[in-house]
Amino acid sequence: MNSMKKLFSVPFICFILCGTIVPMGVIAYYGLTDREGLFTLKNIMEIATVDHAKALGMSLLLSFLATTICLILAFPLGLILKDSKLGKKGFMVFLFILPMWMNFVLRTMAWQVLLEKNGILGGLGIINTPTAVVLGMVYDYLPFMVLPIYNALVKIDNSVIEAAYDLGADYKRVLFKIIVPLSVPGIVSGITMVFVPSLTTFAISNMLGGGKVNLIGNIIEQEFTASANWNLGSGLSLVMMIFIVISMALIEKFDRNGEGNMI
Amino acid sequence: MALIELINLSKSYDGEKVLDEFDLSIKENEFITLLGPSGCGKTTTLRILGGFTKPDTGRVLFQGEDITQLSPNKRQINTVFQKYALFPHMNIAENIAFGMKISGKTQSYINDKIKYALKLVNLSGFEKRSVDSLSGGQQQRIAIARAIVNEPRVLLLDEPLGALDLKLRQEMQYELIRLKNELGITFLYVTHDQEEALTMSDKVVVMNKGYIQQMGTPEQIYNEPENAFVADFIGDSNIVDGIMMEDRVVKIFDHIFPCIDEGFGKKKPVDVVIRPEDIIIGKVGEGIMDGEITSNVFIGVHHEMCIEAGGFEWVAQNTKSYPVGTKVSIDVLPENIQIMNKPQSEDEEAISLEEVLGEENIGEDNE
């Protein structure tokens, strides 16, 4: 039995080794060395330059906005879905997930065409602005917010909600004291799944920002491609990874302390 | 005056009637139990009273005031749910405090009340515990504590002991009776467990197919079932066809049994109910009918035996064991024979409350 289990774990150990540990090591190596292969912290410190810091700040701001908008859209939707009939429920969820089956680049390109100067929504004049980038992020990542929140909400036992009404709570209280706290796990995974890809994206900002909205993802991409400076690209990637870890830790903390009064 | 009156309640789900012109009145401080098989409408009745379900027709009066459309949070009624429904993200003290915080009680009042309620349900010192760390029985008692601290006029209990094991269930039954006596709250209890109903209630309402079958004290329900459904549902019984020869004489399988019932007329077919523990087993020839033991199972206090006699398999309970194959006789004391009119039609099998009260012309109402 035990040797069987060990055998089963071989592919995963291989995956972790080749897919996580080795690449991480390579990035860390490049990030902490210069072109001659000598140890340096210069690549890391590069984040402090005005351009890079600005890009990182912009990334944090836009992904925060996109995550917030997704949350505001997804939560009420989850509430509506929770109370609808079973068949209708599945169909609605299906409708929201449907765009996810289309290629991500294609979806973003569609917005590019729509928002272009001569596009149907060209009149809005938001192409190549941060607004367009946020719109793209929300459109691309909304399903990742809807699904976990919906799952958390349908899992809440209706008798718990009825019990709250029974004890004298009005709808507002039921919502903020019972439903929201009990769906925190879903909210947290939704935030994670929207915030992280938004923070690291370069495709959306490339297509909808038109080179005018520079996110940290774009800068890293350029270091690897245009400038062929792998060391700097890796160094910045390491910094971004640290930011993601910090954000996740903050959200986790929020999760644990926030029970009962998250909003 | 009745504390609660349910008047003419009807409710259908997807075209299926679960409650049909249902009437019930509940007095203050009564422990009243709705008893019946699943789907008989008992839980629907409870949910209508709690405000979670709106009846299609009919009214709910609370102290004479119509509360049919009132939302659950505005009612002086609290519910203990079947699945406990404790708030999993709060500790025990927060769970109990939930209702009191809403009604704006002071913190010191709330703390005192939590202490008092936990003591009442024998869980003192559990304030800081999490819901997950409690057993089913403990969670159930917290659910009760959470409801009673709000000092409701009526406590609704929806099969609260269903998920507990036998021993715990029995303990909780006594606990509930004690609580009811200490608190002076009206209890409306829903269960499909007849033993639970008989043990705890002041009044039992036996329901089937959305109608009240019989209403009365546990003794009345057990000893004088009014129809075959009640007799069958409450306890084990032998329900056999009989012919009422004249007053105080019933013929069962061509044997004459003396009984104490009168007024059924002559040569009238009736249903006869005899409880297994009322069958007296004797030596061949000593009783009214002779038969043979066909099975014998020890079920705790007594042996449950099947006796083949007169072409019917009688269930009998006795502390004395008779081996399978033994020839025996059966006798029944006259007062232990319960005679019931045969239902005239399917509809009448589910008699409504009016009929229980003695009105005659209900047949039309059911059409």
B60 vs B171, higher pLDDT: B60
Alpha helices, H only, B157-217? 166-183, 194-200
What CATH number is attached to the domain comprising A166? 1.10.3720.10
The answer to whether residues B32 and B70 belong to one domain is yes
A163 vs A261, higher pLDDT: A163
Segment A223-247 shows an average pLDDT of 90
Report pLDDT digits (tens) over B135-166.
888 998 899 999 989 989 999 999 888 777 78
B71 vs B350, higher pLDDT: B71
pLDDT of residue B347 exceeding 60, the answer is no
pLDDT for the residue A255:
66
What CATH number is attached to the domain comprising B338? 2.40.50.140
The answer to whether residues B56 and B126 belong to one domain is yes
Domain that holds residue B83: 4-223
Domain that holds residue A211: 47-257
Nearest-5° Cα angle at A70, A68 to A73 = 110
The answer to whether residues B179 and B271 belong to one domain is no
Contacts of A173 in chain B (CB under 8 A): 102
The answer to whether residues B193 and B261 belong to one domain is no
Query: What is the ipTM score, two decimals?
Result: 0.76
pLDDT for the residue A99:
83
* From B50, B86, B90, residue closest to A166, measured CB to CB: B50
Segment A23-51 shows an average pLDDT of 90
Percent of chain B at pLDDT above 90?
48
Segment A136-163 shows an average pLDDT of 93
Q: Domain tally for chain A?
A: 1
The mean pLDDT value of chain A amounts to 89
Contacts of B88 in chain A (CB under 8 A): 160, 182
Residue contact A166–B73, C-beta within 8 A: yes
The answer to whether residues B210 and B268 belong to one domain is no
Quote the DSSP letter at residue B272.
E
Residue B356 lies in a domain: no
Segment B344-352 shows an average pLDDT of 48
B246/chain A closest Cα distance in angstroms: 55
* From B50, B73, B88, residue closest to A168, measured CB to CB: B73
The answer to whether residues B66 and B164 belong to one domain is yes
Residue contact B81–A162, C-beta within 8 A: yes
Residue contact B99–A168, C-beta within 8 A: yes
Contacts of B50 in chain A (CB under 8 A): 162, 166
pLDDT of residue A47 exceeding 80, the answer is yes
pLDDT for the residue A257:
53
Which H/E stretch holds residue B100? helix B92-102
pLDDT of residue B53 exceeding 60, the answer is yes
pLDDT for the residue A256:
61
The answer to whether residues B75 and B147 belong to one domain is yes
pLDDT of residue B356 exceeding 70, the answer is no
Q: Identify the contact set of chain A against chain B, taking CB-CB distances under 8 A.
A: 157, 159-160, 162-170, 173, 177-178, 181-182, 259-260
Segment A211-225 shows an average pLDDT of 90
Chain A contact present for B79, CB below 8 A: yes
Chain A contact present for B9, CB below 8 A: no
* From B73, B86, B89, residue closest to A165, measured CB to CB: B73
Residues 6+ apart with CB under 8 A from B87: A160, A163, A164, A178, B94, B95, B98, B131
* From B51, B71, B102, residue closest to A167, measured CB to CB: B102
Residue A11 lies in a domain: no
Residue B204 lies in a domain: yes
pLDDT for the residue B188:
94
Backbone angles phi, psi at A249, to 5 degrees: -65, -40
Contacts of B99 in chain A (CB under 8 A): 167-168
pLDDT for the residue B167:
82
Segment B252-263 shows an average pLDDT of 89
The answer to whether residues B216 and B232 belong to one domain is no
Residue A173 lies in a domain: yes
The answer to whether residues B122 and B202 belong to one domain is yes
What CATH number is attached to the domain comprising B206? 3.40.50.300
Distance of alpha carbon A76 from its chain centroid, rounded?
19
DSSP strand pairing (B65-66 vs B77-80): unpaired
pLDDT for the residue B317:
92
B199/chain A closest Cα distance in angstroms: 27
Residues 6+ apart with CB under 8 A from A101: none
Chain A contact present for B95, CB below 8 A: no
Alpha helices, H only, chain A? 2-15, 22-31, 42-45, 50-83, 86-97, 104-115, 130-155, 158-166, 171-173, 180-182, 184-200, 203-209, 216-224, 230-257
Cα separation, A159 vs A131, in Å, equals 42
pLDDT for the residue A208:
93
Cα separation, B109 vs B111, in Å, equals 6
C-alpha gyration radius of chain B: 24
* From B50, B73, B82, residue closest to A169, measured CB to CB: B73
Segment A138-165 shows an average pLDDT of 93
Segment A164-179 shows an average pLDDT of 94
Report pLDDT digits (tens) over B302-342.
899 999 988 888 999 999 999 999 999 999 999 889 888 88
Percent of chain A at pLDDT above 90?
59
Residue A40 lies in a domain: no
The answer to whether residues B42 and B161 belong to one domain is yes
Residue A26 lies in a domain: no
Segment B269-287 shows an average pLDDT of 89
pLDDT for the residue A112:
92
Mutate to test the interface with A, among B52, B54, B86, B87 (most CBs of A within 10 A): B87
Q: Domain tally for chain B?
A: 2
pLDDT of residue B349 exceeding 80, the answer is no
pLDDT for the residue B344:
63
Residue contact B79–A181, C-beta within 8 A: no
Q: State both tokens at A102.
A: 């289309």
Residue B353 lies in a domain: no
A188/chain B closest Cα distance in angstroms: 16
Contacts of A163 in chain B (CB under 8 A): 79, 81, 85-87, 146
Report pLDDT digits (tens) over B33-51.
999 988 888 999 999 999 9
3-class SS letters over A17-40: HHHHHHHHHHHHHHHCECCCCCEC
Exposure b/e, B285-310, CB count within 10 A at least 16 = b: eebbbbbebeebeeeeeebbbbbebb
A261/chain B closest Cα distance in angstroms: 11
The mean pLDDT value of chain B amounts to 87
B230/chain A closest Cα distance in angstroms: 31
Residue contact A182–B98, C-beta within 8 A: no
The answer to whether residues B137 and B44 belong to one domain is yes
| Burial class of residue B184 (count of CB atoms within 10 Å of its CB; 0-12, 13-18, 19+) | exposed
Report pLDDT digits (tens) over B226-257.
888 898 888 888 888 889 988 889 999 888 99
Residue A137 lies in a domain: yes
Segment B88-94 shows an average pLDDT of 94
The answer to whether residues B96 and B139 belong to one domain is yes
3-state SS class at A263: coil
Size of interface A-B (CB pairs under 8 A): 64
pLDDT for the residue A1:
60
Residue B260 lies in a domain: yes
Task: Identify the closest residue of chain A to B80 by CA–CA distance.
Answer: A163
Residue B160 lies in a domain: yes
pLDDT for the residue A260:
39
